Structure 1
Amino acid sequence: MTTPTTINKTPTIAPKTFDKQLSNACADLSDAMIEVSSLNFSIKNNAILKNLSFSMAAGEVYALLGGNGAGKSTTLKTLLGFNKPTEGSVKVAGKEVSKALDFVRGKTAYLPESATLYPHLTARENVEYFLSLADIKKSDEQINAAFNRVALQHDAWDRHMQTYSKGMRQKTAIALAILREAPIFLLDEPTSGLDPVAIDEFNQLVRELALTGATILMVTHDVYGACQVANRIGLLKNGELVGEFDAPQSGRIDTEQVHAAFGHHAKRGA
């Protein structure tokens, strides 16, 4: 098992109370937070995922890197139970997904490419509403701490979401996940459409979440972003894992090496 790389040893915006909550949420789960074993998924005899296998421990950031149609989003949907494997096994937090959907979805926070929040509500109202759907009650102080945790500027907390940038909506969605105390994050192209400053802020937040013990699986086609934030990268092509890259004990995955492999497989698939 790859030891998670500590990219920033001193989280700058993480209140201790939320670090403790997230760590406690992870403590009673199995060592392998995500286990995908020989996963195959087909639609009308069209193979989408082919013998896909990887696993993740608490505190890891794993990036599934691939182009359009590689099977990245299909993998996330299978982990969430929306796709039933044709063959193989998918476990989240030690439970087979198909047999424990409510448990699995309670332990995971899914962040799509564009966070779905109500534009006519404020960030606070959105968070309170979605927490109420899960029968979770949090105090104003706890919600404020979560907003601070993700570096959402104070003057935006009570503004309508329709005034928010995409980066601000992403931060609000992650604050909601923290308040739900979800130990596993599934991120679908999370930095697509963000400006460079917002991307840097998002990557920093992902690193800090991992330091608290969160397990983070992100799917992306952004080679540079994946290398900046991931402990491991899996290169996905036509539903198959064709390569993996590990971060060194101290440092980041080599961007040029991954880019060369990504380009090589893209050309072979042309």
Structure 2
Amino acid sequence: MFGPHLFTFYFFMLQAISLSKNYGSYQALKQLNLTVNAGEVYCLLGQNGAGKTTTINLFLGFITPSEGKILINNEEVSAADDLRRQHLAYIPEVVMLYGNLSAIENLNYFSRLAGFEYTEDKLIDFLNACGLQASAHRKPLAGFSKGMRQKVGIAIAVAKDAKIILMDEPTSGLDPKATAEFTELVKKLASEGRSILMATHDIFNAVSLGTHIGIMKQGTLIHTLKASEISATDLQELYLQTI
């Protein structure tokens, strides 16, 4: 497990209130209202261009909203707010780390950037907790699979004590074994009280992993569901009807 052994963990929530993003006359996101509470995994489904990545980019401060608010624990944040930098972590579809550095070296470097300094044993503990095999700890990331790189990325998020983790298509391109490992890792992160928002195309993984599911179309959140109240088959049918 992660948090309780390493930090005093405080529960955080992420909110969008009437959040919109316009590019000229094109509205990429329309009046989004969304809440991800501590311990929840919120899966956003939708076709390319539905607004999933725009939502994540707004939360991260990569782009600024045209309207609306972003709140962390009921406190509104701006694009450069320290709350955002301190408490959010991002796992993109392709985790971009330094290929010439080992897993331990990457973890050490990015932890220090976030203001944390750990012993080598503690860095190894993070990597082990995220499921990276010991034989890979000192190998350059250039030779890592996508699933292995994700584990290092998640170890970095845990090491910087991120309370909220945003993920964009994290299971894309993973084989079934790597997907299963990733699913268990995310469940473990949520069990520690982290808030997780994931943009995905994977309907079946959304049902097995998510606590809540949103379906987006053309920048609008059309449906919000509890994962426990819908089957993968019914979700697939609803998704196809929606898009």
Q: Helix, strand or coil: the match of 1:83? A: coil
8 Å Cα contact 1:109/1:186 also seen in 2: yes
Matched, 1:147 2:127: yes
- Cα root mean square deviation, aligned: 1.5
Q: Helix, strand or coil: the match of 1:67? A: coil
Q: Give % identity.
A: 39
For 1:49, give the aligned amino acid.
L
Map 1:166-177 → 2, pairs under 5 A: 166-177=146-157
Map 1:255-270 → 2, pairs under 5 A: 255-266=232-243
2:198 corresponds to: 218
* Structure-1-length-normalised TM-score: 0.86
Any gaps of 5 or more consecutive residues in structure 2? Answer: none
Among 115, 119, 123, the alignment partner of 2:103 is 123
For 1:169, give the aligned amino acid.
R
- Counterparts of 1:118 and 1:129 in 2: how far apart (Å)? 10
2:182 corresponds to: 202
- Counterparts of 2:151 and 2:49 in 1: how far apart (Å)? 27
2:231 corresponds to: 254
Q: Single out whichever of 178-187 and 91-100 deviates more from structure 2.
A: 91-100
Instruction: State the shift of 1:132 in Å.
Output: 2.0
- Counterparts of 1:264 and 1:225 in 2: how far apart (Å)? 19
For 1:237, give the aligned amino acid.
K
Instruction: State the shift of 1:257 in Å.
Output: 1.3
Aligned residues: 243
Map 1:33-182 → 2, pairs under 5 A: 33-98=13-78, 101-182=81-162
2:10 corresponds to: 26
* Structure-2-length-normalised TM-score: 0.95
Q: Single out whichever of 188-197 and 125-134 deviates more from structure 2.
A: 125-134
Q: Cα deviation per residue 1:32-81 (whole Å; 9 max; x = unaligned)? A: x1111111110112101011111121100000111100010100110011
8 Å Cα contact 2:15/2:35 also seen in 1: yes
- Counterparts of 1:51 and 1:158 in 2: how far apart (Å)? 46
Q: Single out whichever of 227-236 and 239-248 deviates more from structure 2.
A: 239-248
